[in-house]
A and B are shown apart, each in its own frame.
Chain A
Amino acid sequence: MSFLDELVTSPVIQEKLPEATLETLSMVGLSSLLTAVLGLPLGLLLAATARGGLTSNALVNRVVGLVANVVRSVPFLILMIAVIPFTRLLVGTSLGWEAAVVPLTIGAVPFFARLVETSVREVSPGKVEAARVIGATRFGIVAQVLVREALPALVASLTVTVIALVGYSAMAGVIGGGGLGALAISYGYQRFDPPVMVACVVVIVLIVVVVQAVGDAVARRLDHR
């Protein structure tokens, strides 16, 4: 049987691939959502407390920045293992895609927050000054000027983050995180079944391509510059 035939007829692929794909999509989807919800305010906090920011505060900026840097420096494989107790506390188990969402989110939030900070910093200070003269509140300036003007960049940042999460989610398979990563490792690698490995990689590549295309389209749609 040829390799290509095997890709189509392999019972493992037929049985497990759809389920694993769904798990990966759920894992990436939920952790992306949580990352956006937690990372956006954190990134805005970093930008606002920076020198010359809206509420410049060196102490807050340094502490938050340090935590973000530390988490970002820990290799994801180690981070996943290190947060297992926390994961058990939150989800009740450290196995399955639901459990993998916890380390994925923890790993991605500081990453996304830094991207948010950079995107927001690109908004010209003149626009902020104009809003201040108009009499906007600080919160109003963050929402109406910083976030809204940086929206195309923020969408691009989220796209990059989601794609990074797809990669991380495959790694979560190593410690029983489920999804395409787990399928590729347990069948493709440990049971010497290359077609399974290839099938998983192809699906992951497809997910990345689609995410990037959607992200680009949305960002372009929002960009009126």
Chain B
Amino acid sequence: MSTEPHIRLTALRKVYPGTGATPEVVALDGIDLAVERGRIHGIVGRSGAGKSTLIRCLTVLERPTSGAVVIDGEELSALPEGRLREARRRIGMVFQHVNLLDSRTVAQNVAYPLEVAGVPRAQRAARVQELLDLVGLGNRAGAYPAQLSGGQRQRVGIARALATEPAVLLCDEPTSALDSATTRQILGLIRDLRDRLGITVLIITHEMAVVREICDSVTLLDHGRVAEQGAVADVVAAYGSRLARELIPVPDLPLGEERQLVEVAYSTDDVATADVLAAVAALGTGVEVAAGTIETLAGRRVGRLQLDVPAADVAAALDRLHAVGLHAVVSSDGGAGTGSAVRATGAGVAR
């Protein structure tokens, strides 16, 4: 296995030129990304952050303005249009709206990429059945997409994406149109396929649940730039990061007069939950735990607590929490912890 990342983006830029009245739009502004073979990488960001443009550049449906897209050792962004058609077979793509052909049965939909690739009919039938079995729809080969549920349709979409044995699976919001139970099934299927086929997966999503559930590493896009990036385990350990806050959410809380919220973040790598609670209890009776979350992410147990503290005692409480090695900050805007939070990083926690 080579050490070259399976998916590599280098200084990727996409600029839509302005026309007369409309100014030019920089959709992607120097994206660097490397995904190792067999990993599941999430790309998250709000709408307008550049996620869709990024995925269109990955398949070179949209030519990047500058920078390189290298997938499975081939620089797609440097290929002429004619060669691209063939090169795209290294990429399987799963869409939010699945985009199956309504006039074809499930089996015919899965066979379509094989037809395009020129696979003989006899081999196609066997491969289609194999793919449908793989996604658990072996008995629905003759159904039309309209007769399937949303989750089943996405399974067909996944089977179609895998038909030509691609090296890389690109998923564009694969579960955004599905309910939460179906989302889990589809994510489970994607993880299972990665384990069995060793395929590299890139998932574009706006749902943090998707990252929590299956991603090994993650990129946060913001205004066409990489805002945060790293292995989920590392990102989670960076207590102050936006991704960490999004991944371990605590609710927005109304704040009473004369009281402030203090946020405590920790990982059981550093300190046991019982010790955290003991430290909180030691703060005295005026302090209450208002909300809390404990999650296991990428094999690491992490937690966030929101403490409701009388305003007069906040400084003392922070000192005591920091003294026992906890990361604690005043969350002045009710716990969501966006930009304006006052930060006081505890010693010894961040490694």
Range of interface residues on B (Cβ < 8 Å):
20 to 34
Q: A132-B61, A133-B61, A133-B93 are in contact. Are A151 and B103 (CB under 8 A)?
A: yes
Pick out which of these stretches binds chain A: B84-92, B206-214, B251-259, B311-319. B84-92
| Residues of B73-112 whose CB lies within 8 A of A | 85-86, 88-89, 91, 93, 95, 97, 99-104, 112
Interface presence of A72 (CB below 8 A): no
Interface presence of B117 (CB below 8 A): yes
Q: Which residue of the partner chain B has the closest CB to A222?
A: B103
| Residue pair B86, A124 in contact (C-beta under 8 Å) | no
Interface contacts (Cβ under 8 Å), in number, total: 63
Interface presence of A144 (CB below 8 A): yes
Range of interface residues on A (Cβ < 8 Å):
20 to 34
Q: A127-B99, A148-B103, A149-B101 are in contact. Are A135 and B61 (CB under 8 A)?
A: no
Chain B residues whose C-beta falls within 8 Å of the C-beta of A224 in the assembled complex: 102-103, 144-146
| Residue pair A127, B101 in contact (C-beta under 8 Å) | yes
How distant is the Cα of A148 from the Cα of B59 in the complex, in angstroms?
25
Other CB < 8 Å A-B pairs besides A131-B116, A136-B85, 5 of them?
A132-B59, A134-B112, A134-B160, A135-B89, A144-B115
Interface presence of A52 (CB below 8 A): no
| Residue pair A225, B102 in contact (C-beta under 8 Å) | yes
| Residue pair B102, A134 in contact (C-beta under 8 Å) | no
Q: Which residue of the partner chain A has the closest CB to B147?
A: A224
Q: Which residue of the partner chain B has the closest CB to A148?
A: B103
Q: Which residue of the partner chain B has the closest CB to A127?
A: B99
Chain A residues whose C-beta falls within 8 Å of the C-beta of B101 in the assembled complex: 127, 144-145, 148-149
Q: Which residue of the partner chain A has the closest CB to B157?
A: A130
Interface presence of A140 (CB below 8 A): yes
How distant is the Cα of A207 from the Cα of B100 in the complex, in angstroms?
38
Q: Could you list 11 A-B pairs, sorted by A, with CB under 8 Å? A: A126-B97, A129-B95, A130-B100, A134-B89, A134-B113, A135-B113, A136-B116, A144-B101, A144-B112, A148-B103, A222-B103
Interface residues of A (CB under 8 A from B): 124, 126-127, 129-137, 140, 144-145, 148-149, 151, 222, 224-225
Interface of A is mostly: helix
Q: A135-B85, A135-B89, A224-B146 are in contact. Are A140 and B99 (CB under 8 A)?
A: no
How distant is the Cα of A127 from the Cα of B91 in the complex, in angstroms?
16
| Residue pair B103, A133 in contact (C-beta under 8 Å) | no
| Residues of B42-76 whose CB lies within 8 A of A | 59, 61
Produce 1/0 per residue, B261-284, CB < 8 A to A.
000000000000000000000000
Chain A residues whose C-beta falls within 8 Å of the C-beta of B146 in the assembled complex: 224-225
How distant is the Cα of A125 from the Cα of B102 in the complex, in angstroms?
13
How distant is the Cα of A132 from the Cα of B85 in the complex, in angstroms?
8
Least CB distance from B117 to A in Å reads 7
Which 8 A-B residue pairs are closest in the complex by CB-CB distance? A130-B99, A126-B99, A224-B144, A135-B85, A133-B93, A134-B113, A135-B88, A225-B102
Q: A149-B102, A224-B144 are in contact. Are A129 and B116 (CB under 8 A)?
A: no
